[in-house]
A and B are shown apart, each in its own frame.
Chain A
Amino acid sequence: MIDFDITLPAPLALRARVRARSGWLGLLGRSGVGKSTLLRALAGLSPAPTRLTVADQVITPALLGRRVSLVGQTPALVEHWTVARHLRRVARRQRADQLARELIQGLDIDALQRLYPHQLSGGQRRRVALALALLRRPRLLLLDEPFSALDDDSRYRLFPKLQALTRRLGCDVILVAHQIEDIARLCDQVAILEPDGIAYCGGLLAGLRRYQGQASPCSVLLGEARSEQAQAGLLPVAFGERTLWVRTRRVPSAAAPVRLLLHADDVALSVSGLEGVSLMNQLPARITALTVQADGVLVECLCEGQSIQARVTVCSRQRLALREGMTVTLLFKASALSLLAGW
């Protein structure tokens, strides 16, 4: 259970109340809204919150700081200690030598042990900080943009390990990530932070949809991977009665439920089906809503009981005479779909 109510001092003067199930919680919000400050205060760093309750009990930040680990954007390490000394000292304090060995292996930092922090790359520094944070056996792990220095390959390798480790240690995670894909991959729940507090806290799909108005609109689709039929880098995913084609280098080992992310700007609309095009995905759908935005028209469609969003220009809307209730074909490339989970 992640349950806290925190009030931050001026100039943010923010009150955030979060109540969510155990597991990974994604924290969304525009830049500057106070996500990092919120995490810092939760970790017992400055600025100290003016009021903090955890599970309805008033608590001091120092007390909370003992059970909370933070991995910041540029993780703080002791510059005159080697990585090995960091690990040794924290492990000794926590009496967790066995866990230290496990983390060194799991996060692949054995080769870095003799280096000083300033000799580490951004990604290595984060891996070390993650290991140290987990070594403290926190009840709550706060991750502030921990993956921004990692390339896609490293992410793919890191994510499952990280999920397994947090599950094994029984710690909850709050993740702030710039890339919505990371949140959609790792989290089951999201909270949306706005200047006057938490505007939403709940399930991932509804949260992402609600957040779309603020960030780049996208849809998260649920399907079932048909791994045994994968061929030539294309993975078929059962989507209701239909099949979506996903271009991916990583094919789940067995048939598994997967999440797919589709940006609204990558979806085109056609009033009739198209023949002779390279687009792998053509889905019939019914328009349920049209919203005019500053940079186009957001078209919400329903297909196989799931909502898919497309964004077109005002001009296209007029040309195709789009209106609610109309049936259209959604067109997008296999590479427009990114696989979020179950790889």
Chain B
Amino acid sequence: MKSKDSLALDFKSATLYALRVVLHDSDTGALCAALDQRMRDAGSFFKDEPVVIDAHALDTPPDWTALMQALRAHSLHPMGVTAAETMMAAAREAGLVSVELSASTPKAAVAETMPPADLAKPRTAAAPPPEDGRPAPAPAALVVDGPLRSGQRVYARATDLIVIGMVSQGAEVIADGNIHVYGPLRGKAMAGARGNTAARILTTCLEPELIAIAGVYRALEARLEPELHRRPALVQLEGDRLQLRALDG
């Protein structure tokens, strides 16, 4: 209920999760080609993400308008630019705003933008300590009530994924947090998709095609050993190896 003297709008604070697109080259053609390739590898993983362009590594500005068009063509939404002040005039002219990002460490940014296609790169356990002491909010888990069938893909951004039902062969479940599957896990499961090495995969019936945590993956071509095959199980990262453990007993 609106009280009589309340305004038609309110200001509240919000934190936006955005991708940082780090430019290494001013040549717009090369940038567009690299973008095409990245997006092809990533499938629909980054679709409709807000994007901040990081041009700190550049000396000369790229063609901002063309770059924005290329990003939009891939369903990425440029929100602004972070760059040296000398580069900003052209960017503003193209309609981009200057954005301040905290801790502009390109290295971390690269890791964050790693799509699931980049699974081949195992990451060492020493890499990211749990979140520099900042208290992370705990968003509610994404719950899928019912089976996920071949060709379906669900991504739980910045949270856990709970599937009540099976995950068929050919289906994919991805979460930045943990993945719980209450039913047969027969498809692909990738937990800690943005690098959380503490993420786990839990299921009541383990027979997946592929499991991955924080980019460390294992494709399961052969049947698992009998104590794991179709058993309740836990998958977690120990060092840079995936450990599979039966859960009953």
Q: Are A and B physically bound partners?
A: no
Q: Using CB atoms and an 8 Å cutoff, list the residues of chain B in contact with chain A.
A: none
